[in-house]
Structure formats: structure tokens, C-alpha cells
Amino acid sequence: MLNLLSRKSESKNSVKRMSPDEAKKRLDANEPIVLLDVREKAEYVSGHIPNSINLPLSQIQTVGGILPDKNATIFVYCLSGGRSQSAASQMVKMGYQNIYNLGGISGWKYGTVSGSH
């Protein structure tokens, strides 16, 4: 039993939780981080975290064409956290190693931008 617990804690290949405050610190430190917004396009256009990429959850299976580096650090978010958890879990199953569920943009207090870029 102890062996199973230690093996699980050593695994990098799982979805990790990231608070908005910690995410902001890491982004401000200019760490190489990809912000992935998995909301629908209309939601993204109405307001998103600056420098994020939009890939709706319904299209998450195509993420390899947009983000081929499976070792990249990726912060996934949506509106409230449900879709981002689903997308992050699917990405881990695809072999992505450093996936963080940022949760919902509704908890992001650091400003957003609107438009398609």
C-alpha cells in the first residue's frame, strides 16, 4: 500500500490545481506558460486572460496540432472550472505532462481583454 502511495505522488502526469494568485505570480515571472481557454469562441471573444489561446472543450482532441510540446507548462481555464478540469484530464490522457487546472475566469481578478486575439 505504501508503495502505491509513493508512486502516485511521484507522477508528474496528472492534473494539478493552480490558484489565480499563484498563476499570476508565475506569469509575472515570465515563466514559459501556455494559457488555454477551453470556453466557446463567443465566450472567449467577450473576455479572456491576455495572451491565452482559445480551443473549445468540444475540440480538445485537436490540441496536438496547436500545442505539440507535451512537456510545456499549460494552465487550462474556462468560466467556472468544470470544462477546464475535463479538458485537462483529457490532455493528461493524451500524454501532456505539466497540466494545471486554473479553474474559472470568474475567479480571475487581474484583468481580461476582449476580442479574438
Write out pLDDT tens, residues 31-59: 999 999 999 999 999 999 999 999 999 99
Note the pLDDT of residue 13.
Answer: 74
Cβ-Cβ contacts under 8 Å for 83 (sequence gap 6 or more):
38, 39, 57
C-alpha cell at 106: 470568474
Question: Using CA atoms, how far apart are residues 56 and 39, in angstroms rounded to an integer?
Answer: 5
C-alpha cell at 31: 515563466
- Are residues 103 and 20 in contact, defined by beta-carbon separation less than 8 angstroms? yes
Note the pLDDT of residue 66.
Answer: 96
Q: For domain 10-107, give the CATH number.
A: 3.40.250.10
Question: Using CA atoms, how far apart are residues 49 and 59, in angstroms rounded to an integer?
Answer: 20
Note the pLDDT of residue 6.
Answer: 40
Is the pTM higher than 0.85? The answer reads: yes
Note the pLDDT of residue 12.
Answer: 59
Task: Name residues of the chain where pLDDT drops below 70.
Answer: 1-12
- Are residues 72 and 32 in contact, defined by beta-carbon separation less than 8 angstroms? yes
Residue type, 94: M
